Amino acid sequence: MRFLTLIGALCVATTPSAYAQDKWTIVIHGGAGEMARGKTSPEQDQALRAGLNAALDAGAGVLAADGSALDAVEAAIKVLEDDPRFNAGRGAVFTWEGRNELDAAIMDGRTRAAGAVAGITRTRNPISLARAVMEKSPHVFLGGEGADRFSIEQGLPQVDPSWFAIPERRKQLERMKADKLSWYDVDLKFGTVGAVAIDADGNVAAATSTGGRTGKRWGRIGDAPVIGAGTYADNRACAVSATGAGEYFIRVGAAHEICARVRMKGETPKQAADAVMAEIGQLGGTGGVIVTGPGGAADWSFNTPGMSRGSASSTGERKVALYGDED
C-alpha cells in the first residue's frame, strides 16, 4: 500500500499542469545596431529599457497564466508596436515618399502555421493582422491594399495613417535626403521588434514586426515578414526572430537556417545562431537574432555594437539589455 501511495504521489507531482509551471521562456528584441553608451542618452536608455520591460510583462503574464507561446509573442509585440521608441507600428520609419508602410509575421511552432503582411498602412497592430492571415485566411502572406482590405473585413482596429507618424522619424528621412546619407547612417539602429517563446506545453512561437528602413523605395520588403528569413518557429528545433539588414537575412534564409542546424546537426540554438550570424557577417550583413527552444534557453546573437533585448522565464530570471558589453 505504501508503494502504491508513493507511485500515486509521483504521478500527481508530474502531471502536465504541475510540470508547466517550470517550463516557459520569452525572449524579445527591439532592434540591433549602433547602440553604444556614448551614442545613447540617459533618457533614451531609460525609455528603451522601460519599453522592453513592458513588453516582457505582457508576454510573461500570458505564459505565467498557462497561456500559449503564440498568445505571448503577440501580446509582447503589440506593446512594442504601440511604443513610438521602436520602428514598428507607431514610430515606424518613413518611406522615400513619406509614408509609413508596415510589415509583420507570426508563426506557430506546433503546426508550422504562419501568417505575414507587408506594406500595410491602417491596422493599429500589424502583428494581429499577421495572425488573422494565419488563422482566418487560406493564405500565408498578404500585401498592400489587399492586406488592408482583409484587415477591415476581419474587424481589426483601424487608425488614420498619421497615427504611426512621429516627428523624429520624419526628421530622419529629411536628413537622409538633405545630406545624401544611407539608411544605416540615419537610423543608427535597427528598430524592428520581435519575440520568441516556449510555453508550458513545450510549444514555440515567433513574431516580428517592423516599419522597414528609412527611405525605402519601390515597395521594398525586408526579412521581417518573410517566413524563414526573419521569422520562423518549429517545435522540433526552436523559434527565431531577426533584426538587421534584411536583404542579407533573406539571402541566407536566416531564421529557417538556424532551426535547420538545431534539428539536423544537433547544435544548440545559441551555436546555430552564432554560426548563421557569422555567415551573414561574412556576406557584409549586420543585425541580430533571438532564439528559444526545448529546454527554455533564452539566447541571442548579434554582430552590431548593441541590440535592444530582454528575456524572462518561469525560473524568475529576467534580463533587459541594450549594449554588447552587458553580456
pLDDT of residue 39: 78
pLDDT at 19 over 50: no
Give the SS3 label for residue 111.
coil
231 is catalytic: no
pLDDT band at 186 (very low <50, low <70, confident <90, very high): low
pLDDT band at 189 (very low <50, low <70, confident <90, very high): low
CATH code for residues 23-326 = 3.60.20.30
pLDDT at 17 over 70: no
Burial class of residue 263, CB neighbours in 10 A (0-12, 13-18, 19+): middle
pLDDT of residue 41: 86
pLDDT at 16 over 60: no
Provide the residue ranges of all domains of the chain, joining segments of one domain with +. 23-326
Contact call for residues 183 and 150 (beta carbons, < 8 A): no
101-128: average pLDDT = 98
Contact call for residues 299 and 16 (beta carbons, < 8 A): no
Q: Which of 25, 95, 123, 192 is catalytic?
A: 192
Cell of 237: 528545433
Alpha-carbon dihedral sign for residues 95, 155, 107, 296: positive
Percent of the chain surpassing pLDDT 90: 80
pLDDT at 263 over 60: yes
Query: CA-to-CA distance for 48 and 189, rounded, in angstroms?
Result: 12
Query: Average model confidence (pLDDT) for the chain?
Result: 90
pLDDT band at 284 (very low <50, low <70, confident <90, very high): very high
pLDDT of residue 260: 98
Residues 6+ apart with CB under 8 A from 82: 89, 90, 124, 125
pLDDT of residue 81: 98
pLDDT band at 150 (very low <50, low <70, confident <90, very high): very high
Percent of the chain surpassing pLDDT 70: 90
Question: Edge to edge, what strands does the sheet with 231-233 contain?
Answer: 231-233, 239-244, 287-292, 299-302
263-279: average pLDDT = 97
pLDDT of residue 149: 98
Measured CA distances, 30 to 143, 190, 238, 309 (Å) = 23, 8, 20, 6
Which has the higher per-residue pLDDT, 71 or 182? 71
Lowest mean pLDDT among 13-27, 32-46, 76-90, 196-210: 13-27
pLDDT band at 37 (very low <50, low <70, confident <90, very high): confident
